[in-house]
Structure 1
Amino acid sequence: MASLGGAALKQRHPTFLRDESPSRTPHDLDTLSPPPLPANANPNTNNKHHPYQQLTVESNGRNPRTTTKTTTRISKDPFQSPRSTFGACALYLGFLISLAILAFRLHYTLPSPVSSTDGALLVDPLTGQRQFSEENVRRVVKHLSEDIGYRIVGTEQDQETQMYLLSEIQALKEQAEQEGARRLSTTDSEDNAVVPAAFPKFEVWTQKDDGAHQFDFMSKVVMKMYTNMTNIIVRLSCGPQCDENAILLNAHYDTTLGSPGAVDDALPIGVMVELIRILSQRSALKKNSLIFLFNGGEESLQDASHSFINNHPLREYVKAVINLEGCGTTGPEILFQANSRPMIEAYSRVPYPHATVLANDLFATGVLLSDTDYRIFVQENLTGLDLAVYKNSYLYHTHLDLDRNMEQGLPQHLGENTLALAIYVGDNVDVTQLEETSSVVFFDVLGLFFVSYSLGAAIWSHIAIGALAVFAVAIGACRPTMRSVFSVPLSLVAALLAPNLTALFLRAIGRPMIWFSHEWLPLVVFGPLGAAAMLTVQWLLHDKTISNGENELRTLSGITVLYTILMAAASMARIASSYFIALYSLVSSVALIFNHRRIAQTHGSNISTVDYLTYFVASGVQTLYGIYLGFSLFDLIVPLTGRIGVTAPVDNVMAVVTGFSVFFVSPPLLAFSHRFGSMVLKKTILCLLLAQVAVVLVGLSVLSPYDILHPKRVFIQHLRNTTSGESLLYVAHADPGPFYDYVTELEAMYQIKATFRSGLDNPGDWNSIYPFSQFLDSYVLDTTPYIRRHTSNTTLAQSSEPLTSLIHDAPRLIAENVSYDPKTGLRKLSILCTHPNYIWTVTSFDAEVVSWSMDVDVPSKDRFHYVIRSAGGYRGEGWHLDLEYRATGPDDRLHMELTAMETEGFGKDVERELEGSGDIGVIRRLVKARPEYITLTYFSCVVTHFDL
C-alpha cells in the first residue's frame, strides 16, 4: 500500500477536495472535506494540520482504490468542538438547557415550612432564638379567608375581622407577660435570680377616623371620602429612648369584591401576628421601635393607610415603612419598590433575597395596573420598602385566593425575610438620616445574595465596562464591521416584530389568548417565529466571501457593540436598571478577550474565528441570569393580561415580550448560527418555521385560554335604577379572550336577549367600581321579566309597576342650607347622604366647583367631571359635604348620580329580596351556574339621580 500526496490525489479526484471558501478556520474541518495536504507534508505520518482524516490509496495489484483512513487525535481540551454539526449544537444547547433548569430551581425553591403540633413557639437549637412558624401563619390565614370570608369594608365580616385580630393581639400580649414573669422567676445553679434582658413594651391602639384624599389612578381623578375607617395598631418598643423613631410594618385585613383574600392580604396579616409573637418574647430591639399597622381599608383605595399617616398620634414618630402585599399564591415574594439606600441595604440581611430594580423602574412607569399602600406613605415623604407575593396571580382578586392554593413554604419565605429585616432595622438603622432617592441599583444574584450600590457607582462601573469593550477592539479581540453592527439590532427588531404575525393570525380567526393558561406557553406559541426571524437576518447578512469563523467573530463583536451602546444610552438617562445591560456588555467583552487569547495560543496570530469554548464563557452568566429574570417577567405579565381590559392587544404584548426574551436569553446564539455555514443556518430557519406552524395548528386544537386554576374574570352587576325603574344585569369581562359563549348561556338562563353596551359610550354604567370601569364593555340583560316569572307574589307578577318601587331605605342625597349669591354667581349647599344597609357610595356630577369641605384641594378650576367615592366602617350610614360651585342662577341645580352597593352577596348565598316577592335569586342563580373556567366578581347596586 502506497500513499498519494495531495497533488496526485487532486489530479485523480479534482472535485473531491475542491475548496470553495477562500479561507478555513479550525472548526470548519468539522463539516467540510479536508483541504489538500501541504506539498512538504510527509504522507506516511499523521500531519498536525489534518488531525481528523488522512487520505490513502490501496492497491491489490490490479485497481488502486482511494480510501479514507480515520485517525483520532487525543485532545486534552474537553471543550473541543465535536466533529459533527449535530454534536456541536447538541452540546451547546444542552448547556443552555442545563442553565435554564438551574435557574428554575434557584428561582422557585422555597424554604421548608416550620411547624409544631401544638402551635407553640419553636426555638432554634443553635441560636436559642424563636423560629418563625408557617403553621401559625396559616392558622390566621385560614380563619380570615375561610371562616370569616369576604372582608369588605363596611360589612359585618369587616367588624368580625377586627374583633378576631384584637383578641389574637390581646392573647399575644398576655403570653408575653407570662413569659416575662416566668423568666424573672428562673434561678441559676446557685439559686440566684436571673434577670433577663427586658422584653419590649407592648402597646395596642384602635383607631376610627374620618377623612378625604385625592386618588389618581389610570389617568382618572377620584376623590375619596371615608368615615369611621378602622385601624388596629401595635407598638413594640424598648422604652422612651426608642419611641421617638419607629419603623412601620403595614398590611391590610380587608378584601376586595369577589375574593376571600388569603394571600391578599391575610398572609401578610398572619406574618405580622407571628412577628409580634416572636419579637414580644425576645429582648427588645435596641435602636428603633416597631409599629404594626393592621390596616382596615386598602381595597377601598387606601383609605385606612391615609387615615393613619394623617390622623393618628403615632404618625410623627414613623420614619420608614415596610409594606407587605400579595397578588399571587406561589413562589418567593419580591422587593419591587424601594426609595431609600439604608433601607435597601438593610434588605441584604434577609436569608432569601429576591429583588430587582427592574421591577422598581417598571412599576414607576405606571404600566402595571396595580397599587399598594406604599404609595400613600411615599406621598407623606416616608421612605421604605414594598414587598409583595406576585407569582401565579391568576387567582388574585378571585374566589380562589384561598389557603389551600397558597404554596407550601411561601409564608415561611415571607416571614423569615420580614423577621430578619425588622430585627436589623430595629437594632441598626439610623432612621433619622433617611433620604428619599431613586438613584440606587439593587438586585439579588440568583436568590443567593443581594447587591446594592449607588447610581453614581453604577455609572462609573459602566464607564469601566465601556473601556473594556474599547480595549477589546484595540487588541483585535473585538472586530465589528458595519454589516455585523447592523445585523444584531436588526435581529432584535425582527425578533420583536415577527411574533406579531402569529398574534394577528390568532386574533383574525377569533382565537386570542390560547397561551394564557400557563406562564410559559407564550414562549411555545410565539417563540419559534421570533427565533426564525432573528436568524433569518443573520442568514441574509451572512458574508459568503469570508469564512464561517470570521462571520462568527464579527457577529459576536456586533453583539458587544450593541450592549455597550445600550448601556451608554441607559446610563445617560440615569436608568437604574441599566445594570442588566451592563452585565451583558461586560460578559461579552470578557468572552471576546478570552477568545483572543485562546485562539492565539492554539493557532497563532491569525485570529479570525470563535473558539468553541468561548460560547460557554459568553453564555454562562448571560443565559443563567437572563432566564432567572425571565421567569419573573413571564410570571408577572402573563396573568396580568387577564385583567387589563377588553381592548388591550394582549396577544401582541406577549408576542413582543416573547421576542425580547428569545433574543436576550442567549444572544451568542446569533454568532453560533454562522458556525456551520449558511446552508445549515437556512435549514435551521426552515425547521423553526415548520415548528411554528405545527405549534399553532396543535395549539388551536388542544389549547384553551382558561381552566379552573387559570380562570376568566367576569364582572356581574345587578343594577336597580330607582329613577328609571329598570332592573338590569350587567355582565362584563376584563380581557379580550372568548366571552360571548358565556353570555349566550346567561341569555338562555334568564330567557332574555342581551344588549351590548360600550364602556366608552356609557362611562357611568360601572360607577360602583370606578375607575376600573374604563376597561369594561358590557352585555346587559333586563331581569324584570325573570323576576316576575319566578316571584311567589301574584300581585307583583301581574303588576306593571317598576320593581324598584318596592325598594325601601334606598340611598338618598338631601340638599340643605342652599343659597345663591347673584354678585359672585356662586351657589352654596350642604349635601347629606344617607345609605342605611348600603356601602361604597359613588357620587358623580359635572360642575365648576370653587370650594368644598373636604380636606383636599379642588382638582380643577374649570368645569370638571367629579367622581367622589365614599367608604365607611360597619354600620356607617352616611356622609356630609359642603359645596360651592359657579351657577347661572338660583335654579341652576346640581345634577348628581348616586350609586350605592348592597351589603349582601359577598361570598354568602344571599341577596336582598324585594318585599313580598319571595325567592328572587337573580345573582344566586347565576353564581350557582358558574362554569369552572370563570371567576365572578358580583354585587348588587342601587342608582338614583338627584337635582339638588
Structure 2
Amino acid sequence: MTSLGGTALKQRHPTSLRDDPSRTPHDLDALSPPLPANASNKHPHPYQQLNIKSNGKKPRTDKDPFRLPRSTFGACALYLGFLISLAILAFHLHYSLPTPVSSADGALVVDPLTGQKQFSEENVRRVVKHLSEDIGYRVVGTEQDQETQVYLVNEIHALREQAEQESARRSSVALTEGGGVAPAAFPQFEMWTQKDDGAHQFDFMSKVVMKMYANMTNIIVRLSCGPQCDKNAILLNAHYDTTLGSPGAVDDALPIGVMVELIRILSQRPALKKNSLIFLFNGGEESLQDASHSFINNHPLRKYVKAVINLEGCGTTGPEILFQANSRPMIEAYSQVPYPHATVLANDLFATGVLLSDTDYRIFVQENLTGLDMAVYKNSYLYHTHLDLDRNMEQGLPQHLGENTLALAIYVGDNVDVTQLEQTSSVVFFDVLGKFFVSYSLEAAIWSHTAIGALAVLAVTIGACRFTLRSVISVPLSLIAALLAPNLTALFLRSIGRPMIWFSHEWLPIVVFGPLSAAAMLGVQWLFRDEKVSNGENELSTLSGITVLYTILMVAASVARIASSYFIALYSLVSSAALIFNRKRIGKTPGGNISTVDYLTYFVASGIQTLYGIYLGFSLFDLVVPLTGRIGVTVPVDNVMAVVTGFSVFFVSPPLLAFSHRFGPLVLKKTILSLLLAQVAVVLVGTLVLSPYDTMHPKRVFIQHLRNTTSGESLLYVAHADPGPFYDLYVTELEAMYQTKATFRSGFDNPGDWNSIYPFSQFLDSYVLDTTPFIRRLTSNTTLAQSSEPLTSLIHNAPRLVAENTSYDPKTGLRKLSILCTHPNHIWTVTSFDAEVVSWSMDVDVPSKDHFHYVVRNAGGYRGEGWRLDLEYRAKGLDDRLHVELTAMETEGFGKDVERELEGSGDIGVMRKLVKARPEYITLTYFGSVLSHFDL
C-alpha cells in the first residue's frame, strides 16, 4: 500500500478555503470522513477547525434540517426533485376538471344538500351530439343550417313549456301547503327569430373585407323579472353555425348546449333581480361574424344590451379560459365562478393580433359594449377539423364551462350595475392556480410595483442583493442565449427536411429545443464566471443579477402600462424576498468572503416562481403548438417554437443560473457538455422516430374543386396551412390517384385562387391538378369522353352577374350601375374588382378614396335568391366597364358524401374519391367552387 505524504494530504484536505478558493465548507465536509462514534472533541472535525462564522452565530451542524446534502449529486437531485414536484403539482392544478353531473332525459338535477339546481353535463352533451353528429356540418346557407334552426326553436319551445309547468306546480303546492303564500315569480320567458340583411367592413389579417349578408338568422331568448329589468340586459352569445370541414362539437355546439342548459335552470328558479339575460343563438359567426352584427345593429333588443358574455371553443380538453375582458365590474364578476381560469397575459397577447383568430366579441366591442370573452382552447389540434366531435371532448369540460357561466350569469343578473360600464384595458386579472381569482386596477398595480421596486432597493441597501457588473451583464445574456441557441436546432431540422417533428404533442418542443437552450444559458454563466472569488460569491452575485433583471423589466413594463407586468413583478418580489432571507443564513470564510448561498434560499426563490411559471407555461404551449399547424406555409414555425421554448426554459426557474455556480466550474462544464450530448441524442433519435402528424394531431389540407366557366378549366387545388412536409407526403398520392402531374402555384402570385375563403387565402400556396382527363375517363357518356368541349359548359344555373341602370356623367367622370347576382344552389359568393369607388349602396363607408382592390363577400340563409349592389365609380367613359371576378361555393359536400353531378360528366367522382382515400394523418377542408369573369 502506498502511503500519502503531507503534501498529498494537504491537497486532498485543504485546511483553508484560501488553499482552494473553489471549495465551499460543504465541499470540505463531503470530502472529510465522518467522526467515529467514540471519538472525542480533542481532534475536531476539519469543518469545525474552519470555525466559520455566520453573522456571529454558531456554524450549522448535521442537525440542521436544511443543510446541503453531503454530495453534489444529492444536492442537485433534491433541488431538481423539488422543481419536478412543482411541475407535477402545476399539471394537476392546471388540467383538473369537475366531475360531470348526469341527468335523465333532460331533467333538472337538484343538489340534495343545498337544494339548488345543478348544471348537467349530460344535458349539454345531448345537444352537442345531435348538432355535431346527427345534423353535422352546419355551414351558413346549407340545408343543415336550416335544420339546426328548426331543432333549436323546438328545444326552446320545450324549455318554455317546462318552465310554465313547473311554475304552475309550485304555485299549486304553495297555495295548498304553504298557507296561501305565492312562491317567488319565475322569469318572463320570451323568444324571437330574427332574419335580416346588412353589411359591414371586416378588417382581418391585414386585409380589408367588405361583408354583405342576406336573410341572416338569429334565435333570441330573454329571461326577465319584468319591465324593471328589461331596460338593462346582459347578452350571452354563442354561434350554432360551423366552418367548412368541421361538425363543430366544441366550436360552437358546446356553448350552444351550455346556453340551452342555462335557460332550463334559470327559467325554473326565481327571476334574477337586477338585469335581464338575453341569450343569442347566433346563426353566422364563421361567415365572418355576420349574425352578431345583424343582432347588435338591427334587432329591437340591441338598445337594452349593456354587456356581453361571449362563449367560444377552439379546443377539446381542459378548462375554458377568460382571455378577453374590457370593464372592471365584469372582470370582478368573474371572481364568482367556481373554477376560475384567466390571465391578462392572454388579453394582451390577443390584442397584439399575433393570434390569427377572432370571435363575435369583436363586433360587440366595436359597438362600445363591455364584457367577457371565454373559450375552450386546449388541444386545438382538432379545431376546425372533422375530428371536432362529442367523443373527443374531455369529460368534465362541459361541466367546467357550464358551472362557471351559470355562476357568472346569476351574479351579473342579481348584482352588477350595468348602467355605468365603461371600456378599459387598465385592469390586471389572473387566477391563482385555478383556486381563486384576483383583479385590481392598473394604477394599483403600478403602486404595488413601486413597493416591490423599493424592496429590491432595500435588498441592495442592507447587502442582501450584491450584484456585480458581471452578473448584470451575464443574466440578460443568458436569457438572450436561451432564446437564440435553440434556433440552431430549428435551422438544422429544416435543412435536412425534417421540420415540425415536435408538432404531435404540446410538450415535445421542450424535449427537442430545451437541452440546447439550457446549455447556452449555463454556457454564458461558465464564460462569465469570476475565478477570483469563491463559488458562493458567484452564486450570490448571479442571484442578485436575476433580481436586477426582473426589477428593470418590471419598471419598463409599468412605464409602458402593460397589465401583464404583474407576472414580472411577482418574480421580482420573490427574488428580493429570497435574497433577504438568504442574508441571515449565508456562511463566510475567516477572511469575510461569502462561502455559499444558503441551500434553502433556492427553495424560497423557486417555489412560487416555478409553480406559477409552469402553470402559465402549460397554457402557452397548449395554445401555441397546435396553432403552428394553421398559420401558413411561410412562417418559420420551428424557429417560433425554439424561441418560445427558450423563453420558457429561462423563466421556469431562473435561480438555476445561480445554483449552477454552487459546485465550481468543473461541475458546471460537465453539466453543459451533458446537455449538449442530450441535444445531439434528441435530434438523432427524433429525426428517426418522430413524425409531425398522426390521427389525433393531423395535418390540415385544403381542397378546392374549381370550375372556371371563363377558361373552361376543371382544376383541383390542394394546399396546406403549415410548412411541414406536404408534396412527398400527400400530393404524390393525389397525382397517382388522378393520373396527372401537379403544378405548383404561389398564393402570392395568384391571390384570387382561393377567393372563396378570402382573406385566409393569403396563407395558401397550391398544387393544382387538371381533373378533366380523370372526368372524361370516368364518365359513361362516350360522346362527352371523346369531346373537346369544356366540361364547364355543362354547368346548369351557374352563378352570374348582370349590370342594370348603367349611366355615365362626362362632367364628373362617374359611372353608375346596379350589380345583380344570382347564385342558385351556391353560397358564399365573393366578388373582387379594382376601381376608384365614390359611393355604393352598402350601409358602410367606402374604405378608400383611391383606386383600390375590393373584395366583397356575401353570405345568406338557405336557398338565398341573390343580392344587389349599387355602385358609382370613376371611369374613362360609358364603355369603361367594371371587370369583376365572381367565385361561388357549392352547397354540396359539407360532411355528407354528396357532390353535385354535372349532367353526363361523371363529375361526382372527383371529390368523393379524394375524401374516401384520405390518409388518417390528414384532415380535409374541401368544397367545390365556380369561378367566372364579367365585364359589367
Do the structures match in fold with TM over 0.5? yes
1:940 Cα deviation from its structure 2 partner: 0.1
Could you tell me whether the CA contact under 8 Å between 2:889 and 2:930 is conserved in 1? yes
1:727 and 2:723 aligned: no
Equivalent pairs counted in the alignment come to 918
Mapped to 2, the partners of 1:451 and 1:191 lie a distance apart of 43
Match of 1:703 among 690, 702, 721: 690
Percent identical residues? 87
Please point out which of 941, 944, 948 is paired with 2:929. 941
Aligned partner letter, 1:845: F
1:204 alignment partner, one of 178, 191, 211: 191
- In the TM superposition, 1:352-501 aligns within 5 A as 352-501=339-488
Deviation of 1:26 after TM superposition, in Å, equals 3.2
Task: State how 1:534-613 maps to structure 2 within 5 Å.
Answer: 534-599=521-586, 607=594, 609-613=596-600
How far apart, in 2, do the equivalents of 1:238 and 1:570 lie?
A: 45
Aligned residue in 1 for 2:13: 17
> Which shows bigger deviation, 349-358 or 911-920?
911-920
3-state DSSP of counterpart to 1:162: helix
Residues 484-529 of structure 1, C-alpha deviations (whole Å, 9 max, x = no match):
1100000000000000000000000000000000000000000000
CA distance in 2, matches of 1:410, 1:241: 36
In 2, distance between residues paired with 1:185 and 1:105?
48
Structure 1 partner of 2:37? none
Deviates more, 1:127-136 or 1:592-601: 592-601
Matches within 5 A, 1:526-537: 526-537=513-524
Match of 2:874 in 1: 886
Q: Is the 8 A contact 2:282 2:292 kept in 1?
A: yes
CA 1:617–1:96: 2 relative to 1, 3 Å:
same
Counterpart-to-counterpart distance in 1, 2:369 and 2:238 = 16
Q: Aligned runs of 1:77-476 on 2, under 5 Å?
A: 77-187=64-174, 192-476=179-463
- Could you tell me how far 1:608 is from its partner in structure 2? 5.3
- Report the equivalent of 1:813: 801
Cα root mean square deviation, aligned:
2.0
Deviations 1:126-154 (A, max 9, x none): 22111000000000000000000000000
2:313/2:377 contact within 8 Å kept: yes
1:862 aligns with 2:861: no
In the other structure, the counterpart of 1:29 is 28
Q: What is the CA deviation profile of residues 45-64 of structure 1, one whole-angstrom value per residue up to 9, with x for unaligned ones?
A: 457625999xxxxxxxxxxx
Alpha-carbon displacement from aligned partner over 1:306-353 (angstroms, at most 9, x marks no partner): 000000000000000000000000000000000000000000000000
Map 1:525-924 onto structure 2 (within 5 A). 525-599=512-586, 607=594, 609-741=596-728, 742-918=730-906, 920-924=908-912
* Structure-2 residue corresponding to 1:56: none
Q: What SS is found at the alignment partner of 1:762?
A: coil
Kept after mapping to 2: 8 A contact 1:349/1:421: yes
Q: Note if contact 2:801-2:819 (Cα within 8 Å) is conserved in structure 1.
A: yes
Equivalents in 2 of 1:188, 1:913: separation in Å? 66
CA distance in 2, matches of 1:47, 1:838: 90
Q: Give me the whole-angstrom Cα distance separating, in 1, the residues matched to 2:428 and 2:590.
A: 42
CA distance in structure 1 between the aligned counterparts of 2:83 and 2:33, rounded to whole angstroms: 31
- Partner of 1:186, secondary structure, is helix
Deviation at 1:571, TM superposition (A): 0.3
- Deviation digits for residues 708-753 of structure 1 (CA, Å, limit 9, x no counterpart): 0000000000000000000000000000000012100000000000
2:336 aligned counterpart, secondary structure: coil
Q: CA 1:610/1:210 → structure 2, altered by over 3 Å: closer, same or farther?
A: same
Note if contact 1:136-1:274 (Cα within 8 Å) is conserved in structure 2: yes
Deviation at 1:43, TM superposition (A): 4.6
Contact 1:837 1:902 in 2 (8 A): yes
Give the whole-Å Cα distance in 2 for the aligned partners of 1:716 and 1:609. Answer: 64
Aligned letter for 1:451?
A: V
| Residues in 2 aligned to 1:190 and 1:934: alpha-carbon distance in whole angstroms | 64
1:522 to 505, 509, 516: 509
Cα distance in 2, alignment partners of residues 519 and 371 from structure 1: 22
Q: TM-score, normalised by structure 2?
A: 0.96
* Structure 2 partner of 1:67: none
C-alpha distance in structure 2 between counterparts of 1:191 and 1:885, whole Å: 74
Letter in 2 for 1:123: V
Mean alpha-carbon deviation: is it higher for 587-596 or for 189-198? 189-198
C-alpha change, 1:744 and 1:239, in structure 2 (3 Å) is same
CA contact (8 A) 1:791 1:920 kept: no
The alpha carbon displacement at 1:776 in A equals 0.3
Q: Which residue of 2 aligns with 1:60?
A: none
- The answer to whether the Cα contact below 8 Å between 2:200 and 2:843 also exists between their aligned partners in 1 is yes
Alpha carbons of structure 1 residues 190 and 112: separation in structure 2 relative to 1, 3 Å: closer
Choose the corresponding residue for 1:932, options 893, 896, 920. 920
Do the aligned partners of residues 12 and 726 (structure 1) sit closer, same or farther apart at CA in structure 2, a change above 3 Å counting? closer
Q: Is the 8 A contact 2:163 2:267 kept in 1?
A: yes
SS in 1 for 2:923: strand
Query: In 1, Cα distance between the equivalents of 2:929 and 2:869?
Result: 22
5+ residue gaps in structure 1?
A: 1-7, 36-40, 54-71
What displacement does 1:187 show? Answer: 4.3
**For the residues of structure 1 that align with 2:419 and 2:8, how far apart are their CA atoms?**
90
Inter-partner Cα distance in structure 2 for 1:590 and 1:826? 72
Deviation of residue 543 (structure 1)? 1.0
For the 8 Å contact 1:358–1:577, the answer to whether it is kept is yes
- Residues 618/180 of structure 1: CA separation in 2 closer, same or farther (3 Å cut): same
Query: Matches of 1:132 and 1:901 in 2, distance apart?
Result: 40
| Contact 1:52/1:73 (8 A) holds in 2 | no
CA distance in 1, matches of 2:289, 2:176: 55
For the structure 1 residues 83 and 50, does the alpha-carbon distance in structure 2 shift closer, same or farther, using more than 3 Å as the test?
A: farther
Q: Distance in 1 between matches of 2:528 and 2:883?
A: 67
Instruction: Report what 1:3 is aligned to.
Output: none
Specify the SS of the correspondent of 1:348: helix
Q: CA deviation at 1:607?
A: 4.9
Residue 79 of structure 1: CA displacement? 1.9
In 1, Cα distance between equivalents of 2:165 and 2:176? 23
Deviation at 1:604, TM superposition (A): 12
User: Structure 1 residues 761 and 47, CA, compared in 2 at 3 Å: closer, same or farther?
Assistant: closer
Q: Match for 1:812: what amino acid? A: R
SS in 1 for 2:744: strand
Residue 69 (structure 1) aligns with: none
The answer to whether the 8 Å contact 2:344/2:429 transfers is yes
Per the TM alignment, residue 31 of structure 1 is displaced from its structure 2 partner at its CA by: 5.4
8 Å Cα contact 2:900/2:907 also seen in 1: no
Output the CA distance in 1 between the equivalents of 2:276 and 2:64: 60
CA contact (8 A) 1:17 1:34 kept: no
What's the secondary structure of 2:700's corresponding residue? strand
2:588 touches 2:596 (CA, 8 Å); kept in 1? no
Secondary structure in 2 matching 1:818: strand
Aligned partner of residue 704 in structure 1, secondary structure: coil
**TM-score normalised to the size of structure 1?**
0.95
